[in-house]
């Protein structure tokens, strides 16, 4: 098929939220932009769908905190329909015949922690302040392009700027940062607290999307990654988007369209076209070709560097690093349509306020570790770590009156089952086990389920192209972080071929609905001549 006559300044491969953000920034700066999205819907892992008649919910990502306020402001997302509501309640952690209820009232939370350990109650404030001080530094680094090893003067300036952020932290926070970067989650929490319930619920943040034992070095960092966000100016807070996560992508798409971006769905890109070592456009799976001066890829880094580009363009060392890029977050996601709210035995007579927060099944670090060990051995956790959210308690647009939807976000579930079975063979059985796990705390739960949507690690890979089912487009471990993401030498969004940029979660600062890889890549593209 012939090359299309029209040429745009930029083609973006993938209309995930980062592709849309990248498109929005570039178009705002006057570039003509065309986005090709493989699926029939824009938004990638940030979409809302009807999964049971009359019941809608976010399909993959479900909770907002990391979406950067600068992105919200620059792309006028509120004017384009986005409403983010902070979760009104705190966290309910379910325990055998008990619970740990940490509301947003500090005095209540301290008293609740003291039921398990008075020493922990004395320390919690200092712990939270330690994490949030360091998270501030991370927030600053997240919005800057990392330096490339052996780069030019701009990389040197970036390195100096990053050094300055670390310098401003002061000696105490620098020590904390170094500890969080190198410690295991388990050792770090053990050094602070003695109550198993508290360590379990705090530890959950560290295993989200991170297939590792909580006692593996480097795992403490994920605590920080999940703390660098904010909602409505409140640091570390989490919220929900009215209408589900699709509302975020819809607002981004609406802004992009208003700037003249051409958004095309059902158009998978097969290959990036080169003239020598310079990109000149793309070829779609249907054979059509389109020219552009720059190409930005919102896809997984391995897809870009080994499938859309000829891998022989990489030198041997880089090829080895790309092949060895770790991508397996071991995540299983379900939505359930509910005829009534679950009645947690230990919360009988305590009202429903806790449904406006996070409800966690993560009773101890030992429980988290066992979930990891089971998944390593048999493919999935027999007793999974589960984070539950019931958005219908704050958003009446998702279910019929009186009914509810719940998001269930579960760890650990390996992408490849050691038995050699396919996830398609075991999905219903595993979903039953997830429901049984919750039913043990709320015996009306199973009976209240009217319908369910299951996303196994295979579905996540198959639907979105997230290799290994990795929700972050690659593990957020230290060797795949900052100047090392996705691999050393390609951290500044520029790829080994001229005019090709990475604008998805495989780039700094990594996964989550942040908009930052898209924003930062757009800045790099605007700087590039």
Ligand X SMILES: Cc1cc2nc3c(=O)[nH]c(=O)nc-3n(C[C@H](O)[C@H](O)[C@H](O)COP(=O)(O)OP(=O)(O)OC[C@H]3O[C@@H](n4cnc5c(N)ncnc54)[C@H](O)[C@@H]3O)c2cc1C
Distance CA 298, CA 278 (A): 19
Q: Which is nearer to ligand X, 38 or 368 (CB)?
A: 38
Q: SS3 of 349, please? A: coil
In whole angstroms, the minimum distance from the beta carbon of 399 to ligand X comes to 19
Distance CA 398, CA 407 (A): 12
Distance CA 243, CA 226 (A): 23
Q: Which is nearer to ligand X, 63 or 499 (CB)?
A: 63
Q: Which is nearer to ligand X, 176 or 477 (CB)?
A: 477
CA 413 to chain centre: 16
In whole angstroms, the minimum distance from the beta carbon of 426 to ligand X comes to 18
Q: SS3 of 207, please? A: helix
Contact (Cβ atoms closer than 8 angstroms) between residue 516 and residue 509: yes
Tokens 């700094």 label which residue? 508
In whole angstroms, the minimum distance from the beta carbon of 320 to ligand X comes to 24
Q: Which is nearer to ligand X, 177 or 507 (CB)?
A: 507
Q: Which is nearer to ligand X, 36 or 367 (CB)?
A: 36
Q: Which is nearer to ligand X, 304 or 442 (CB)?
A: 304
Q: Which is nearer to ligand X, 280 or 454 (CB)?
A: 454
In whole angstroms, the minimum distance from the beta carbon of 220 to ligand X comes to 19
Phi, psi for residue 130 in degrees, rounded to 5:
-65, -45
The residues near 321 (Cβ < 8 Å, ≥ 6 apart) are: 487, 488
Q: Which helix (H) or strand (E) holds 282?
A: strand 278-284
Give the CA distances from residue 456 to residues 56, 248, 359, 409, in Å, rounded to whole numbers and listed in that order. Answer: 19, 23, 21, 11
Q: Which is nearer to ligand X, 183 or 387 (CB)?
A: 387
- Contact residues toward ligand X (CB under 6 A) are 13-19, 36-39, 44-46, 60-63, 66, 268-269, 298-299, 331, 333, 409, 455, 460, 464-466, 471-473, 504-505, 511-513, 517
CA nearest to 63, candidates 222, 298, 236, 223? 236
Contact (Cβ atoms closer than 8 angstroms) between residue 248 and residue 77: yes
Q: Which is nearer to ligand X, 15 or 384 (CB)?
A: 15
Distance CA 191, CA 185 (A): 10
Contact (Cβ atoms closer than 8 angstroms) between residue 522 and residue 26: yes
Tokens 């090829």 label which residue? 319
Q: Which is nearer to ligand X, 13 or 185 (CB)?
A: 13
In whole angstroms, the minimum distance from the beta carbon of 397 to ligand X comes to 18
CA 221 to chain centre: 15
Distance CA 56, CA 243 (A): 8
What totals of helices (H) and strands (E) does the chain contain, helices first? 17, 20
In whole angstroms, the minimum distance from the beta carbon of 502 to ligand X comes to 10
In whole angstroms, the minimum distance from the beta carbon of 519 to ligand X comes to 11
Give the CA distances from residue 526 to residues 120, 215, 436, in Å, rounded to whole numbers and listed in that order. Answer: 49, 42, 52
In whole angstroms, the minimum distance from the beta carbon of 401 to ligand X comes to 26
Contact (Cβ atoms closer than 8 angstroms) between residue 370 and residue 384: no
Q: Which is nearer to ligand X, 25 or 193 (CB)?
A: 25
Is-cis flag, bond preceding 509, omega within 30? yes
Q: Which helix (H) or strand (E) holds 119?
A: helix 118-142
Phi, psi for residue 169 in degrees, rounded to 5:
-60, -30
Q: Which is nearer to ligand X, 219 or 335 (CB)?
A: 335
In whole angstroms, the minimum distance from the beta carbon of 107 to ligand X comes to 29
In whole angstroms, the minimum distance from the beta carbon of 3 to ligand X comes to 18
Distance CA 335, CA 246 (A): 15
Hey, what are 97's tokens? 């015949």
In whole angstroms, the minimum distance from the beta carbon of 434 to ligand X comes to 13
Contact (Cβ atoms closer than 8 angstroms) between residue 278 and residue 286: no
In whole angstroms, the minimum distance from the beta carbon of 229 to ligand X comes to 8
């Amino acid at each position: 098929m012939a090359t299309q006559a029209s040429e745009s300044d930029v083609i973006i491969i993938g209309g995930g939220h980062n592709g849309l953000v990248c498109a929005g920034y570039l178009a705002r700066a006057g570039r003509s932009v065309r986005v090709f999205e493989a699926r029939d819907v824009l938004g990638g892992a940030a979409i809302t769908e009807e999964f049971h008649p009359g019941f809608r919910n976010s399909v993959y990502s479900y909770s907002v905190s990391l979406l950067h306020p600068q992105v919200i402001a620059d792309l006028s997302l509120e004017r384009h329909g986005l409403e983010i509501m902070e979760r009104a309640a705190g966290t309910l952690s379910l325990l055998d015949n008990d619970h740990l209820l940490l509301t947003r009232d500090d005095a209540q939370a301290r008293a609740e922690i003291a039921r398990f350990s008075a020493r922990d109650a004395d320390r919690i404030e200092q712990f939270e302040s330690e994490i949030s001080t360091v998270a501030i530094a991370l927030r600053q680094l997240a919005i800057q392009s990392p330096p490339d090893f052996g780069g030019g003067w701009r990389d040197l300036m970036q390195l100096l700027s990053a050094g300055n952020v670390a310098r401003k932290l002061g000696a105490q926070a620098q020590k904390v940062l170094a500890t969080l970067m190198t410690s295991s989650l388990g050792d770090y929490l053990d050094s602070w607290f003695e109550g198993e319930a508290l360590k379990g619920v705090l530890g959950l943040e560290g295993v989200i999307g991170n297939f590792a034992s909580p006692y593996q070095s480097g795992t403490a960092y994920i605590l920080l990654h999940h703390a660098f966000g904010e909602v409505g100016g409140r640091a570390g807070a989490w919220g929900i988007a009215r209408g589900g996560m699709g509302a975020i992508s819809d607002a981004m798409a609406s802004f992009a369209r208003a700037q003249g971006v051409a958004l095309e769905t059902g158009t998978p890109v097969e290959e990036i076209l080169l003239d020598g070592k310079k990109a000149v456009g793309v070829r779609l799976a249907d054979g059509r070709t389109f020219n552009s001066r720059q190409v930005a890829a919102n896809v997984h880094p391995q897809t870009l560097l080994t499938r859309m580009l000829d891998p022989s363009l990489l030198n041997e060392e880089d090829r080895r690093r790309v092949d060895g890029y770790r991508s397996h977050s071991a995540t299983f996601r379900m939505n359930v349509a509910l005829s009534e709210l679950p009645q947690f035995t230990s919360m009988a007579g305590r009202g429903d306020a806790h449904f406006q927060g996070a409800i966690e099944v993560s009773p101890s670090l030992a429980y988290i570790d066992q979930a990891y060990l089971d998944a390593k051995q048999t493919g999935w956790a027999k007793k999974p770590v589960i984070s539950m959210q019931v958005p219908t308690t704050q958003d009446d647009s998702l279910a019929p009156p009186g009914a509810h939807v719940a998001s269930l976000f579960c760890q650990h579930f390996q992408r490849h089952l050691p038995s050699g079975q396919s996830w398609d063979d075991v999905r219903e059985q595993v979903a039953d086990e997830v429901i049984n796990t919750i039913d043990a705390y709320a015996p009306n739960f199973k009976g209240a389920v009217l319908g369910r949507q299951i996303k196994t690690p295979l579905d996540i890979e198959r639907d979105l192209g997230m290799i290994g089912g990795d929700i972050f487009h690659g593990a957020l471990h230290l060797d795949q972080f900052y100047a090392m993401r996705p691999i050393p030498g390609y951290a500044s969004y520029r790829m080994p071929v001229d005019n090709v940029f990475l604008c998805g979660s495989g780039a700094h600062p990594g996964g989550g609905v942040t908009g930052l890889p898209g924003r930062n890549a757009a800045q790099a593209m605007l700087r590039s001549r």
